[in-house]
Amino acid sequence: FRSEAYRISAASRGKELRLTLTPLGSGEPQDLVFRFGMSGSFRLCPITQLPRHAHLRFLTRESPPRALCFVDARRFGSWRLGDAWQPDRGPCVLSEYQAFRENVLKNLEDKAFDKPICEALLNQKFFNGIGNYLRAEILYRLKIPPFEKARTVLEALNDTEQARRKKNSSLTLSKKLKLMQENPDLLELCHTVPMEVISAEKKLFDPDNSDNYAAFKNWLQCYLVPGMSSLRDRNGRTIWFQGEPGPMAPKGQVSRKKRTQLKADPEALIPKVTLRASKQHPKAAAEEEVADRLRKGHARGRKKATIAPSLPEPEVPLKARRSHRKTAGRGEAGSPCD
């Protein structure tokens, strides 16, 4: 990215991304911290081909210029000025793995672990970086019922870890790593599963490349996969799984089987949410709309309404306007977020 006035660098931690705009001349750097909600992303494109819902744009010095755009169709994402990460989020599962692991195991008395493991995995105070599709993939690989009590699942890791250390005390580091890879526990998968996605291909989520998106679809083993069961947790979020749901499963729900194939076009997975549904539970409504459309083969003719009218486009040199959207609070620390 090359601008007339500044350069851009970025750093990430869990579910947050920090952009730093550094002046080419005199002046102090300007930071913005982003949260992405369910559909937020960045895209670099020609100024003449701006995507819809490009709520924030940084222009290059080329002629004609290109724009680095923050794109968010559902408007659950947000940004704020400043360089501070959100204070109640725990260590990042990717870049701070050891601290993340210790933070979970030393706080197992916290009431967050009274909940089912599928709900605890979305608590960003302890699992900063884990979202809905990742929790499904992690639990599926270990054959853990999603509605097993979180503390029951995690307390077993302390005993396993102590036994592993005693048994492997004489092994070399490479052999220890090999054993961990062959028999990973839940916290290790919270690190390695998202790393698989990151390392698979840098353009894996490119919405303009259906082949790359198909590669991600093929990587999924559980989430939205035909034949898997699904239930909504107490926060209204759908969890996909195989086998028994577990002792803390919500009463009165019937597990649904996923029969229709995922569409290769990622734009098909971003339906508009009706105003009525979004007022009750915006994220759950959007997620359920996705599942419903996939099951019904994207039935045409359904009336839709966007969540909110289009925002005015801010001008962004070294300063950017802070987002004041009502949905900015979605996905806060300690609450479920995608």
Banded model confidence at residue 325, pLDDT cuts 50, 70, 90 = very low
Write out the residue range of the structural domain in which residue 37 sits.
Answer: 6-81
Higher pLDDT, 338 or 114: 114
Based on the fold, state whether residues 65 and 119 are members of the same structural domain.
no
* Alpha carbon of residue 283 to chain centroid: 13
Asked if 63 and 48 count as a contact pair (C-beta separation under 8 A), the reply is no
pLDDT in tens, 15-62: 999 999 999 988 999 999 999 988 888 998 999 899 989 989 999 988
Residue 130 and residue 249 in one domain: yes
Q: Are residues 39 and 114 in the same domain?
A: no
Q: What's the pLDDT at 324?
A: 41
pLDDT digits (tens, 9 = 90+) for 221-269: 999 999 999 999 999 999 999 999 999 999 888 777 655 444 443 433 4
Residue 273 lies in a domain: no
- pTM attached to this predicted model: 0.69
How many structural domains are present in the chain? 2
> Which string of b and e fits 289-323 if b means at least 16 CB within 10 Å?
bbbebbeeeeeeeeeeeebeeeeeeeebeeebeeb
Give pLDDT tens digits for 136-192.
Answer: 999 999 999 999 999 999 998 877 665 565 555 665 656 555 555 568 999 999 999
**Contact criterion met (CB below 8 Å) for 66 and 60:** yes
Assess whether 103 and 252 both reside in one domain: yes
CATH value at residue 114: 1.10.8.50
113 and 216 co-located in one domain:
yes
Q: Kindly state whether residue 334 falls inside one of the protein's structural domains.
A: no
pLDDT tens string 51-96: 989 989 999 988 889 999 999 988 889 999 999 999 999 999 999 9
